[in-house]
Chains A and B, each alone.
Chain A
Amino acid sequence: MNKIIRKRRLSENVFEMSVEAPLVARSRRAGQFVIVMVDEEFGERIPLTIADADPEAGTITLIFQTVGATTMKLAKKNEGDFIAAVLGPLGKPTSIRGENGEKPGRVVCVGGGIGVAPMHPIAQALKAAGNEVTIIMGARNAGLFVMKDEMAAIAGDRLVLVTDDGSSGRKGLVTDPLKELCERGEVDEVIAIGPPVMMKFCALATKPFGVKTVASLNTIMIDGTGMCGGCRVSVGGKTKFVCVDGPEFDAHQVDWDLMLKRMGAFRPQEIAAKEHECNLLKAAGL
């Protein structure tokens, strides 16, 4: 059981929660995630990236969007409530340029929608390792940006905002500024986190320039320990388990179309479950 210490609503359907998990807070590194269960007997196990951690307070910060039944249940919980389980930290930590043997350089972080949250600790670590960090944040409209101030604190004037409708920053797609930076030869490495389609197009954008591009995948998971294979993807023609071999992979090697299809495996059931949950919330006057 893990206690919710703090809860904030970041936008209409995005929430931030700090949860007690002292051991995870102590050992987690940038890029790792946890598996969360809201209730134990009939709950589902879902992966959520660790956006931040406070080892002294023994808490981790999770940022999530209400996309399915479980995230809606989680959003209903309040400060002081408990969630059944937080398992982690899982996955391999991000290999941070400047710490991994490669010389510090110019790194572009592309965060789409809620993908900005898991990008935060990575961008922090990249900066700390002496890289020049550019952050491109994309959202459908200005109201959907999360953690803008935190990201600005890292990137300073190298923060680029992009919206679909032009309500904030540039109008267009995150791949536009990314391509321009590549064309000017100002990029040594790209990290992309966001919806799979966005990551796919980031990979396509950087490929012609031969710029190393890493994507953090967010597949369906059950155990998170390599036991079931439900999270599998194809990378460079080989089957990989995202929970133990990832979550980060060479974006140029990922079979994006396959991954996109696999993400839809349970879509009809998920839609039904979400509607059911929405109806319950409505009935409860929430």
Chain B
Amino acid sequence: MTPKEKMAIAPQAMPEQDAKARARNMNEVALGYTAEMARCEASRCMQCPAKPCMQGCPVAINIPGFLAAAAEGDFAKALKIIRRTSLLPAVCGRVCPQEKQCQKFCTMGKLLKDVDKAVAIGRIERFVADLARENGTEETVECAPKTGKRVAIVGSGPASITCAADCAKAGCDVTMFEAFHKCGGVLVYGIPEFRLPKSIVRHEIDNLKKLGVKIETNYVVGRTRTVKDFLAEDGFDAVFVGTGAGLPKFMDIEGENLNGVFSANEYLTRANLMKAYEEDKADTPFWHGKRVAVLGGGNVAMDAARMALRLGAEKVYLIYRRSMDEMPARKEEVHHAKEEGVEFHILENAKRILGDDNGFVCAIECLRYELGEKDASGRRSPVAVPGSEFTLDVDTVVVAVGNASNPLIPSTTEGLEVNKRGNIVVDPKSNMTSIPGVFAGGDIVLGAATVILAMGEGRRAAQGILKYLGVHV
């Protein structure tokens, strides 16, 4: 096919559940490509020699390579190419901000002057991963002969899953410790079912078990045992800390401790992990919010707002202090939220939350904002418009303005260096911390970031661990 012919192929739209119907159910919104659609979309790739898309991929997947295989209908080969650098394609295909990564640099998107018309790399990635999982045709991985080295992995999010898999494949004896009763980190407690089915995460955890990784849930490292205990008494040769960014930030405004004000973490955990929405079965109580305000503009805020609809809210306001252009959420999620009926209040911010006599939320007072001068991050910083206060009647407020790093491990591990934000400091090549034999990666190092970056860090740390232990790969 000539470039011109390729340009003439229509971008394949993602089949989706109807917006009205899906806003009231927990099933996945995006239904996935058919084989025909995946082939057709993959054939739009120009195979440019410079491979600009790869620069945008944090783990440098050979994108043109896997697209060429997919265009030929060799989906198994396509998956094999992805798997060389990415462990979780079914997850990343769904949750990566592709429009800011690979697809941002895609030549096709540039030629058609619209990033939304770039080759839908993420959707094809998802398709090939789903196909193999559903048909049970994933390649079985052989572990290297046992090395006798023991590695402890703290946490079970994407950074930890990747690090555990790589160490196990290299012949280490790996044990993963997770505080919650289920593994997956944010993938199970934060990102909702309608965006990332939990059966996919479970499948990845089962794959870890097949590699021989032992899993200890309900185990808080720092309390049940400490990192130092692992090394000094429990016979581990190295420890990887992938404890994520789980410390919710609040806004420090009046009324934030009223009943009906939740951190997004609490709101989403109740629904996702504790299944509170299955009211006849779940013991965790369920908050019946009818009018919900969500504060923030990231993926977490989108998830909370869309979850509120699914939990029966009649009105959901998303209140964000900057403009649409600055919104950090994935574009597709913003689009889906709008379609489902979330009302966007842009350039507005909560000033205080008002309560009734019994301490329950009854309204939120907001201020309007304007964009001012560019700040240090290059974004135009919002400034409040004096006297622009107005109130919205709400019975629920979900605060989704970010997560800081959980201090439990640093505070119980003497000598572990953290920066002033509380993130663990690591050597950028090996991800080793200030303590020899202790490695870290993911959100606990980067601050709240992304799944793909966490995965990349887990992989780098695994290399660091193997080198430290003298295991050759």
Partner of B408, one of A37, A41, A244, A270: A244
Residues on the A chain within 8 Å of B374, using CB: none
Inter-chain contact B266/A229, CB cutoff 8 Å: yes
CB of A43 closer than 8 Å to a CB of B: yes
Residues on the B chain within 8 Å of A27, using CB: 223-225
Residues on the B chain within 8 Å of A90, using CB: 220, 223
Partner of A234, one of B225, B257, B275, B284: B257
Residues on the B chain within 8 Å of A84, using CB: 181
Q: List the one stretch of B100-108, B143-151, B246-254 in contact with chain A.
A: B246-254
Residues on the B chain within 8 Å of A270, using CB: 285
Known contacts A37-B181, A84-B181: does B283 contact A261 (CB below 8 Å)?
no
Partner of B266, one of A24, A38, A228: A228
Of all chain A residues, which has the CB nearest B267? Answer: A228
Partner of A262, one of B219, B225, B257: B257
Residues on the B chain within 8 Å of A45, using CB: 181, 274, 284
Residues on the A chain within 8 Å of B218, using CB: 37, 85-87
Of all chain B residues, which has the CB nearest A259? Answer: B257
Partner of B283, one of A42, A86, A244: A42
Partner of A87, one of B220, B263, B358, B360: B220
CB of A105 closer than 8 Å to a CB of B: no
Q: How far is the CA of A85 from the CA of B216 in the complex (A)?
A: 11
CB of B359 closer than 8 Å to a CB of A: yes
Inter-chain contact A85/B181, CB cutoff 8 Å: yes
Inter-chain contact B220/A264, CB cutoff 8 Å: no
Inter-chain contact B181/A42, CB cutoff 8 Å: no
Known contacts A37-B181, A261-B358: does B246 contact A227 (CB below 8 Å)?
yes
CB of A230 closer than 8 Å to a CB of B: yes
Inter-chain contact A227/B283, CB cutoff 8 Å: no
Residues on the A chain within 8 Å of B257, using CB: 232-234, 239, 258, 262
Residues on the A chain within 8 Å of B220, using CB: 87-88, 90, 224-225
Residues on the B chain within 8 Å of A225, using CB: 179, 220, 246, 406, 408
Q: How far is the CA of A239 from the CA of B269 in the complex (A)?
A: 21
How many whole Å from B301's CB to the nearest CB in chain A? Answer: 16
**B residues 216-272 with Cβ under 8 Å of A?**
217-220, 223-225, 246-248, 250, 252, 256-260, 262-263, 265-266, 269-270
Inter-chain contact A226/B408, CB cutoff 8 Å: yes
How many whole Å from A202's CB to the nearest CB in chain B? Answer: 22
Q: How far is the CA of A199 from the CA of B16 in the complex (A)?
A: 54
Inter-chain contact A258/B359, CB cutoff 8 Å: yes
Q: How many residues of A contact B (CB 8 A)?
A: 44
Residues on the B chain within 8 Å of A23, using CB: 219, 224-225
Known contacts A85-B181, A228-B248: does B269 contact A261 (CB below 8 Å)?
no
Of all chain A residues, which has the CB nearest B268? Answer: A228
Of all chain B residues, which has the CB nearest A89? Answer: B223
Residues on the A chain within 8 Å of B287, using CB: 266
Residues on the B chain within 8 Å of A24, using CB: 224
Inter-chain contact B283/A70, CB cutoff 8 Å: yes
Partner of A265, one of B250, B260, B278, B284: B260
How many whole Å from A234's CB to the nearest CB in chain B? Answer: 6
Inter-chain contact A40/B181, CB cutoff 8 Å: yes
Known contacts A42-B283, A222-B270, A273-B285: does B260 contact A227 (CB below 8 Å)?
no
Inter-chain contact B225/A228, CB cutoff 8 Å: no
Residues on the B chain within 8 Å of A233, using CB: 257
Residues on the A chain within 8 Å of B179, using CB: 87, 223, 225
A residues whose Cβ falls under 8 Å from a Cβ of B = 23-24, 27, 37-38, 40-45, 69-70, 73, 84-90, 222-230, 232-234, 239, 244, 258, 261-262, 264-266, 269-270, 273
Known A-B contacts: A226-B407, A273-B283. Give 11 more (CB < 8 A): A27-B223, A38-B283, A70-B283, A90-B220, A222-B284, A226-B247, A229-B262, A230-B262, A261-B359, A264-B359, A265-B360
**7 pairs across A/B with beta carbons < 8 Å?**
A23-B224, A45-B181, A90-B220, A228-B266, A230-B263, A244-B408, A261-B358
B residues whose Cβ falls under 8 Å from a Cβ of A = 179-181, 217-220, 223-225, 246-248, 250, 252, 256-260, 262-263, 265-266, 269-270, 274-275, 278, 281-287, 358-360, 406-408
